[in-house]
């Protein structure tokens, strides 16, 4: 009897997947190469080039350990997401997964929190782009640059999805090339082959108070910002409904995450802290550019100003994509106004895109009243909290899904399985829970915690109130009959 029930549920679930894939008519125009570079677009943003200065300032050279821990966490999340996305490749994916495997109330809360995550983070990228352009063209205020980039990103996201993918492909490629170039140059500096500093070795790395000058606890206090820097990898799951071949593309993208974390985070950061004293890092400009200036490479440093601009546009581009798809997913599940599920003739959720960019512009206007670097840090920390909630939801959904398959005896039917279950999944959940709890012990981040938690709880409360109201109305109608 139990088997019959599970089999019936499985058929119902498969029917839901087929319906979601075909009724929605999302355009499967993202190619494999675009998806691979797109997952980089969300990861390497200005938060990496600028926010790394904040992490170094708070943790010193021990920041490399923070990035290593963050890389392990994101890899665990991606393994969980791959299993879910290959089984059910739908746009707005993890909101659907949360509804299927956790609860509709939680799905509503985490979906809206994720949308608000990007509404906080995308403006921080636009603001960063505005700061850079204001430096190059002082006659135009950074706020107007931010608005201009917002308009450009809106137009790109309203194009056919393959045009969006192609744009993101080239923007991401520029960032990858820049980081590879920095790694080569920094390594040559470290070995004394460039500049007049001679062989550096570990002189700078351990020269200003040792490896952990701010204490080992600083590693955990910077984890929220680290997780912000890694956010965007989950966008390949949101893009699953628009991939040409999700069964092939998504596992490849996930397997490549390991090498991307090592090649684009660990190696550049390790070389950075070997050539730049940590106490000279900050948020005023890219720490990568600061390091190059110290060794007389002014032109290369200026090039990094362009790279940060590219990173800001690219991350805003992919972030708005993620926000719109999450909002579209909410609307399809009747957790957001139905007009937001509207698709344009090109298969783009245009209403969701427009509402998302409007939310971003509202945050930019708030920035106009407080053009302070603290506002930038605040946006990053709020984004870190709400983004971590989405990642926890992904791991939680995979845990519940796998347990269901194990109980039904259908585990072998999975086309992709997260290895070392349940240890990978549980580590992904509890490590992030600990990171969020640590926020309460940091005065700067505590305010973001108090602002971010309601982003999860208020949508959940409103959803429950709506459900109770509909249930009461249905009960009343039955009584009158």
CA distances for 277 relative to 190, 204, 440, angstroms? 13, 6, 29
Tens of pLDDT along 45-102?
666 776 787 788 888 888 888 888 888 888 898 889 888 888 887 655 678 889 999 9
Q: Which residue has the higher pLDDT, 294 or 375?
A: 294
Per the prediction, the chain carries an average pLDDT of 77
Give residues with Cβ within 8 angstroms of 12, minimum separation 6. Answer: none
301 has a pLDDT exceeding 50: yes
Q: What is the mean pLDDT of residues 252-272?
A: 77
Out of 331-335, 425-429, 443-447, 464-468, the most confident range is: 425-429
How confident is the model at residue 145, as a pLDDT? 80
How confident is the model at residue 300, as a pLDDT? 83
How confident is the model at residue 22, as a pLDDT? 39
Domains, the chain, in order of start with CATH, read: 28-468 (1.20.1740.10)
Q: How many CA atoms lie within 13 A of 406 on its CB side?
A: 9
pTM: 0.78
Q: What is the mean pLDDT of residues 28-33?
A: 56
Question: For 243, phi and psi rounded to 5 degrees?
Answer: -90, 145
19 has a pLDDT exceeding 60: no
Residue 395 pLDDT level (bands cut at 50, 70, 90): very high
Residue 2 pLDDT level (bands cut at 50, 70, 90): very low
Q: Which of 264, 262, 288 is closest to 186 using CA atoms?
A: 288
Out of 195-204, 210-219, 451-460, the most confident range is: 451-460
Tens of pLDDT along 362-380?
887 777 676 655 666 666 6
393 has a pLDDT exceeding 70: yes
């Amino acid at each position: 009897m139990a088997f019959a029930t599970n089999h019936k549920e499985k058929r119902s679930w498969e029917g839901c997947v087929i319906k979601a894939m075909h009724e929605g008519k999302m355009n499967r125009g993202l190619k494999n190469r675009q998806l691979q570079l797109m997952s980089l677009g969300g990861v390497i943003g200005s938060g990496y080039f600028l926010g790394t200065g904040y992490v170094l300032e708070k943790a010193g050279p021990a920041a490399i350990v923070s990035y290593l821990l963050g890389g392990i966490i994101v890899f665990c999340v991606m393994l969980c997401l791959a299993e879910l996305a290959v089984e059910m490749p739908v746009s707005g994916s993890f909101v659907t997964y949360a509804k299927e495997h956790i609860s509709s109330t939680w799905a509503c809360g985490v979906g809206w929190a994720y949308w608000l995550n990007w509404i906080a983070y995308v403006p921080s990228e636009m603001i960063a782009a505005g700061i850079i352009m204001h430096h190059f063209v002082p006659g135009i205020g950074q706020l107007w640059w931010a608005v201009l980039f917002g308009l450009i990103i809106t137009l790109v996201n309203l194009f056919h999805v393959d045009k969006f993918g192609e744009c993101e492909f080239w923007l991401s490629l520029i960032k990858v090339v820049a980081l590879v170039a920095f790694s080569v140059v920094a390594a040559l500096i470290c070995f004394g082959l460039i500049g007049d500093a001679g062989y550096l070795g570990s002189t700078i790395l351990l020269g200003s108070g040792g490896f952990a000058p701010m204490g080992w606890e600083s590693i955990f206090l910077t984890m929220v910002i680290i997780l912000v820097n890694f956010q965007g990898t989950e966008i390949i799951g949101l893009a699953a409904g628009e991939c040409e071949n999700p069964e092939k593309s998504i596992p490849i993208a996930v397997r490549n995450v390991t090498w991307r974390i090592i090649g684009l985070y660990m190696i550049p950061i390790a070389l950075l802290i070997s050539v730049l004293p940590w106490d000279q890092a900050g948020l005023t400009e890219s720490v990568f550019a600061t390091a190059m200036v110290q060794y007389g490479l002014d032109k290369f440093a200026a090039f990094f100003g362009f790279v940060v601009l590219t990173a800001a546009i690219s991350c805003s581009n992919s972030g708005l994509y993620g926000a719109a798809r999450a909002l579209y997913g909410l609307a399809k599940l009747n957790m957001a106004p139905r007009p937001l599920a509207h698709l344009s003739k090109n298969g783009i959720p245009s209403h969701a895109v427009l509402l998302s960019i409007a939310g971003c512009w509202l945050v930019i206007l708030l920035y106009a009243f407080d053009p302070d670097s603290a506002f930038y840090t605040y946006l990053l920390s709020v984004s870190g909290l709400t983004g971590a909630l989405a990642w926890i939801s992904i791991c939680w959904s995979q845990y519940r899904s796998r347990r269901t398959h194990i109980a039904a005896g259908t585990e072998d039917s999975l086309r992709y399985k997260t290895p070392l279950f349940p240890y990978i999944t549980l580590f992904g959940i509890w490590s992030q829970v600990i990171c969020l709890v640590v926020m309460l012990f940091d005065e700067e981040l505590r305010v973001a915690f108090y602002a971010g938690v309601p982003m999860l709880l208020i949508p959940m409360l409103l959803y429950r109130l709506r459900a109770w109201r509909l249930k009461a109305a249905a009960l009343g109608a039955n009584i009158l009959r």
